[in-house]
Every structure is written in structure tokens, then in C-alpha cells.
Chain A
Amino acid sequence: MQNNDIVLRTEHLSIQFGGLRAVDDVNLEIRRGELYGLIGPNGAGKTTVFNLLTGVYKPTAGRILLCGEDITGKAPAEINRKGIARTFQNIRLFHNLTVIENVMVGLSNQIPCSIAESIFRLPRHMRSEREYYERALALLEVFQLAEYKDYLAANLPYGKQRKLEIARAMATNPTLLLLDEPAAGMNPSETQELMDDITFVREKFGMTILLIEHDMRLVSGICENLTVLNFGTELAKGATAEVLSNPAVVTAYLGE
């Protein structure tokens, strides 16, 4: 396995809150173009792993390498600029902005234009605003949201809000996309649509995706490899079918 093929690697990633080891010695290795699943029972530390990867928390031990570069302990905005984008378990859109403006915020770092240039309406401001609009519209078309572009984000139906969040994340031009329980609160047909979307994003943009999920159907349907967390530690990892038939996983996660 070549080193530059690995988009994300964590080494002994751990975080301790007081006496609680929320994440303990997690070693992920995600290859380019892979769709990797992170599963586990409630409170296993899945979202905490995401918060570590995106800089919301700083790990108390271990390292995070993005394409070989150490990004441990960097600020969230900087990590985003380095190439990790995410969605949230409880959708976090910008409710007072329209659908297209949400995506335009995602594009912010793609097209440079200083504050002074905007205040004095210099040519670069005009050009960049047009470019923001066009690129955002193109992205919305890809996600079939173009017809809603002038809606306030808060007024979108739930399923579309999820989609918009993914579109906004994609607008930041990431190398790795983190999806935190994208199917939460969705009915089976919406989940199916979401699975198609994720597959589509992966193929269209050649995106590497790390996915947290509860919905087993979704996980077994689209993930190639899995890591199962339980009480913050790795319970099992490997190919999806193998992991899901592992008796320890079945006991911890699926009950019985």
C-alpha cells in the first residue's frame, strides 16, 4: 500500500474528558476514494472522533495525518481549508441565509476577495461575486436543489436540508468528506435517496468519505470497510461483511 494513497490516518487518537476516556487509541486508515464507515452503539465516541478530526476538540494523545500532513490540534477553519469538510448529526445550516447563499459561504475560501475590495466595490469584488453565484448554482444543480435557491435554508424540507448541508460541505472543495449520521430522522425512501446521493458524490467528485451511521442497511449497502467503536475503543475493523458477522460486534452493537 502506497503512502500517498492514504487520505486520512489517525495514530493512537485519544481524548480524555476528566476521568472519561471518550476516545481511546483509535487508528483509522482511509484510502483515496474509499467509503469508510464508523459505527457503534450510542455513546461509543463516534461523533467525538469527528470532532477530533475537524479540530473542535484537541486530542490528548495521538496524531491525525491528512494526506501525510500532521493536522493535529489545528483550528477548525484551518482544518477545513486543509481539506476536511463535514456535516452534522443535528443539521447546522445558516438559517438566515438562502439556499444558494449557504453554498456561497462554503465557497468563501475558493475565490479570494478582501474586505476592503468588497467595501469599495472594486472590480475583483464584482467578478468574485458573479463567480460565487455561478459556481454555487452549478453545485446546487448537481444536488438538484437549484429550484430552491432563493428559499431561506430554514424553510427547506428536512431531506433537502441534509442535501444542502452536503452541498455546502462539497463547496469547500474537500479531499475528505465526513458525514455524521446523514440518515438520522429519515424514512426508508429518503434513506434510499440519500444512499444514491452519497454514491453519486463519491463517483462524480471521486470523494473519499467517512461516514457515521446507525442505519445498518445503509452501512452494509455502501461502505466497503468499517471500524466499530465501543466505549471509545476499537472493537473491530475491516471489510464490512466480515465485521458485521463478528460475534463481538453483534453482541455489542446489534444486541442479543
Chain B
Amino acid sequence: MNAVLEFFKKPFLRKYTNYIVVALFTVIFAILSLTGGLKMGTQFLLEQIGIAVLLAVSLGMVVGFLGELSLGHAGFMCVGAYVGGKLSSLLVGAMGGNEDSIVALLLALLVGGLVAAVFGIIIGLPALRLRGDYLAIVTLAFGEIVRSVFMNMPERLFGGTTGLETPRFDRKYLFVFAFLLVLACLAVTQNLMRSKHGRAIVSIKDNEIAARATGIDVTKYKLFVFTISSFFAGIAGVLYSYSNVRLQSVNFDYNYSTEILVMVVLGGMGSINGSMIAAALITFLNVKLQTMLTGNLAVLQKLFYAIILILIVIYKNAPGLKGFREKYNLKALFDKLFKKKPVAEDMADGKEGDDAE
């Protein structure tokens, strides 16, 4: 095992560890899924994780790297979901009801992402001239407006209050697409941030006045980050539409935007890997609570969710727990797992630890 660990410590590979880990997960789960080793529930969970990771990484670009607060990320997702969902149901209808058409899926992803990106530009142009709280207010309003616009559109167009029926891709494969898109998003984000453009974006966050005085085109970069972030949110929306039979605009409300923001903040601002882990954990928690607490107990879902979040924040920040934190953290767990156990078991239960790299 040490050999493997040493292998990952090579500087060249270190840069790509997160791709390798996500790719490994994709391959392992894809094989499991194809051989019938995954339950429907797990496939659904994996889809949701893929969607959440896309949302968290894309919002992380705006909030973590650019340093602007956006509270309307679910709005961009909503645009992608409705546009992509409508397009895919039209395409599927034209193709004689084949819901598993890859062409329809890819086209819907592309168009949904692009339309969301256009909305990103439309909102970004005026909004990015605003600072701090004002941008937050504008994006918050945008999210709510988009949602209610789709709800109030004629029913034959976007389903109105009853919701838009969308095709459902085969559960066996959909999460694989979601994971592949996560890889693509990761590549784009990471390549962007590890370049002169990434340095420019960080310089804007650190000191906008100095960035301008150093010749950085602040508006261009802000707009670009905003646009590409909306693009991936739109793509996540299209996946969401494929994962659910019925799109209801009420799902894209302010709470959803906040939840994405929570993932970014918990994962650590400006950390792509952190956002991914937080997104996966929070989604896991959410889905598990939803399946475990049903019927009368359903009211407790939000309560438990909130309590766990509060505990995480306390664990992360409380000064009294500093010693405890240093002793029991993901890295320590990771080291322990790798030092004591043989290879096969690592792959089975080392999930959280793996992500931590």
C-alpha cells in the first residue's frame, strides 16, 4: 500500500489526484451498476451526488475564487432544468419515445447549459458592477423570478404548477454521465485556476483596486467566471430534469441556493476538492434522511439535517475542540486506513478518505 501512496505523492500525479479518484469512482460504480450490483436507491444517490458536486464546484468559482456572493445558483440550475427538460421531452417525442437516447441527452445538456450561460451573462453584465451585498440581492431576486416565471408560463409549455414531465434516462447509466460531467467540470475549473487567468481571478478577490492598477480586465474576468459557473449550473439542472420525472419550480427555491452555498462554505472557500467532498457528504446525508425518516417522522428530516450541519460547523471551528480535531480528522483517518488495512478493504470503505486527497 505504501508503494501506492508514494506513487500518488509524485508531484506530477499529485496535481491530478482528484481526477484519478473521481475517475476511479466512476469506473468502479459503472462496473457495479452494469453487473447489477447497485440498488436503484444507490444509483439515485449517485446521480444526486453528481448533480450536487457540479453545483458546488461551479458556485465555488464565483464565491470561493472570485469572492462574490451569489445567492441565485438554483435559478441558473432552474433555467437549465426547464430548457433542457423541455428540449429532451420534445426530442424523445420526435424519436418515438426512446427515453434513453444519448443524442437527446447530450443535446439537452448542451442547450440547457448554454441557455443558462446566456442568463449568466444577462444577469452578470449589470450585476457585476455592483459590489458585495448588492450582488447577493440581485442574484437572490433572479433566482426567485426565474422560478416563478417558469411556474406561470402556459401549462402546455412548461407545465405550470403541476410541473413539467421530463424523460427519464436509464438509472443504470445516468449517474455515469453525471460523473463524467463532474470530471469535465473539474478539468475546466482546475485548468482555469492554474493559469494566468486563475491568478488574475484570485488577484481580483484579494484586491480589486490593485488588480485594476496591474492591468487586469476585472469586468471581463468577473463576467467570464459568472458565465461558466452558470453554464455548469445549467448542466446540473438538465441532469436533474433527467433524474426526476416531474420538474417543479418550487424545488429551485432560495433554500436550494443556500444549500449549495453551504456546501461551498463547509468545503472551504476556494477549495475545489473541499467543495466536492462537502457536496457528496451533504447530499448523502439528505438522501439518507429522506429515505430513513418517512411518514410521520418526515418532519424530523430538516431538524436532523440542521442539527448535523450545526455540529459540523462546531467541529470545524470551536476552539475548545482543537486538540480533538487534530487527532480525529479525515487526513488522520486516511493515514490510518492506508497503514493498517490491505488493498481490497480500502477501496470498499475508504470512500471519504479517498476524496480527501
User: Could you say which of B168-176, B216-224, B297-305, B319-327 contacts chain A?
Assistant: B216-224
User: Could you say which of B123-131, B191-199, B248-256, B278-286 contacts chain A?
Assistant: B191-199
With known contacts A77-B216, A77-B218, A108–B196 Cβ distance under 8 A: yes
Q: Indicate if the CB atoms of B214 and A106 lie closer than 8 Å.
A: yes
**A120 CA / B195 CA spacing, docked (Å):** 11
Residues of chain B from 193 to 218 with CB closer than 8 A to chain A in the complex: 195-200, 202-203, 205-207, 209-218
Q: Indicate if the CB atoms of A77 and B196 lie closer than 8 Å.
A: no
Number of chain B residues close to chain A: CB under 8 A? 27
Selected contact of A86 from candidates B195, B197, B205, B213, CB within 8 Å: B213
Task: Indicate whether A13 reaches chain B with its CB closer than 8 angstroms.
Answer: no
**A96 CA / B199 CA spacing, docked (Å):** 10
A–B complex contacts, Cβ < 8 Å, 22 sampled: A56-B209, A76-B209, A76-B213, A77-B212, A77-B215, A88-B213, A92-B210, A93-B206, A94-B202, A94-B206, A95-B206, A96-B206, A105-B216, A106-B215, A108-B199, A111-B196, A113-B195, A118-B195, A118-B198, A129-B195, A169-B214, A172-B215
Task: Indicate whether A128 reaches chain B with its CB closer than 8 angstroms.
Answer: yes
Q: Indicate if the CB atoms of B199 and A101 lie closer than 8 Å.
A: yes
Q: Indicate if the CB atoms of B200 and A77 lie closer than 8 Å.
A: no
With known contacts A92-B207, A94-B210, A105-B199, A115–B224 Cβ distance under 8 A: yes
**A86 CA / B188 CA spacing, docked (Å):** 33
User: Taking the nearest CB of chain A, how far is it from the CB of B188, in angstroms?
Assistant: 5
Q: Residues on A close to B: CB < 8 A?
A: 54-56, 75-77, 80-81, 85-86, 88, 92-97, 101, 104-106, 108-109, 111, 113, 115, 118-121, 125, 128-129, 132, 168-169, 172
Is the contact region of chain B dominated by helix, strand, or loop, or is it mixed? helix
Q: Which residues of B contact A109 (CB under 8 A)?
A: 215
**A165 CA / B202 CA spacing, docked (Å):** 16
Q: Which residues of A contact B198 (CB under 8 A)?
A: 118
Q: Indicate if the CB atoms of B213 and A118 lie closer than 8 Å.
A: no
